[in-house]
Structure 1
Amino acid sequence: MSLCFQPFHYASKIKCCVRKHTRSQSQGRKNPSLVKVASAETTSTSFLHKQSSDALVGPGNGIGIIGGVSIDSTLSFAKRLKDLLLEEEGSSPPFILCSDPSLSKELSSLDRRSSSPFSSAKTEADCSTVVENLRRKRAFLDRTGVCCVVMPCHISHSWHDEIKEGCSVPFLHVGECVANELKQAQLKPLESGSPLRIGVLATNPSLLPTIYQEKLESKGFEVVLLDKATEEHTVIPAVEALNRKDFEGAQNLFKIALQVLLMKAVNRVILASDHLEQLLPPEDPLWTKCIDPMDALARSSLKYARSPETGK
Structure 2
Amino acid sequence: MSSTLVQTDENGDHYESKKISSSPSAQLKSQPHSSLLSQANTVGIIGGVSVLSTLIFLEKLVWWSSRNGEECVPFVVCSDPAIDGSRQSVHSSLSEIAENEVSYEHVIVHSLKQKRVFLEKSGARCIVMPCHISNAWYDEISESCTLPFFHIGECAARELKEAKLKPLDAGSNVRIGVLAACETAVVTYEDKLQNQGFEVVLPDKATVEHILMPAIESLNQRDVEGARNLLRIAIQVLLIRAVNVVIIASEELQNLLPGEDPLLKKCMDPIDALARTTVKWAKSAKKDNDDWINSPRLSQTPQNNG
Q: Based on CA coordinates, which of the two structures has the bigger radius of gyration?
A: 2
Aligned-pair Cα RMSD in Å: 2.7
Question: Are the equivalent residues in 2 in contact too, given 1:48–1:143 (CA < 8 A)?
Answer: no
Distance 1:186 1:71 in 2: 33
Compute the displacement of 1:173 (Å).
0.5
Question: Are the equivalent residues in 1 in contact too, given 2:193–2:200 (CA < 8 A)?
Answer: yes
Correspondence for 1:261: 238
Distance 1:42 1:288 in 2: 41
Instruction: Give the TM-score of the pair, scaled to structure 2.
Output: 0.82
Correspondence for 1:85: 65
Compute the displacement of 1:84 (Å).
1.5
> Percent identity between the aligned chains?
46
Amino acid paired to 2:211: T
Which digits, 9 at most, give the CA deviation of each residue in 1:14-66, with x for residues without a partner? x655566xxxxxxxxxxxxxxxxxxxx98954999995152332332011001
Gap regions ≥5 residues in structure 1: 1-5, 8-14, 21-40
Distance 1:42 1:133 in 2: 9
Distance 1:77 1:270 in 2: 16
Amino acid paired to 1:191: D
Gap regions ≥5 residues in structure 2: 18-28, 291-306
Secondary structure of 2:159 counterpart:
helix
Compute the displacement of 1:274 (Å).
0.5
In the alignment, which of 109, 118, 132 is matched to residue 88 of structure 2? 109
Correspondence for 2:295: none
Amino acid paired to 2:123: G
- 1:219 equivalent to 2:184? Answer no
Secondary structure of 1:166 counterpart:
coil
Instruction: Give the TM-score of the pair, scaled to structure 1.
Output: 0.80
Distance 1:46 1:201 in 2: 37
Question: Are the equivalent residues in 2 in contact too, given 1:304–1:310 (CA < 8 A)?
Answer: no
How has the CA–CA distance of structure 1 residues 19 and 99 changed in structure 2, closer, same or farther, with 3 Å as cutoff? closer
Compute the displacement of 1:102 (Å).
1.4
Secondary structure of 2:165 counterpart:
coil
How has the CA–CA distance of structure 1 residues 42 and 239 changed in structure 2, closer, same or farther, with 3 Å as cutoff? closer
Aligned residues: 277
- 1:297 equivalent to 2:269? Answer no
Distance 1:43 1:185 in 2: 41
- 1:184 equivalent to 2:189? Answer no
How has the CA–CA distance of structure 1 residues 146 and 199 changed in structure 2, closer, same or farther, with 3 Å as cutoff? same
How has the CA–CA distance of structure 1 residues 123 and 270 changed in structure 2, closer, same or farther, with 3 Å as cutoff? farther
Which digits, 9 at most, give the CA deviation of each residue in 1:139-172, with x for residues without a partner? 1112233221011112211211101001120111
How has the CA–CA distance of structure 1 residues 96 and 17 changed in structure 2, closer, same or farther, with 3 Å as cutoff? closer
Correspondence for 1:31: none
Secondary structure of 1:220 counterpart:
coil
Correspondence for 2:208: 231
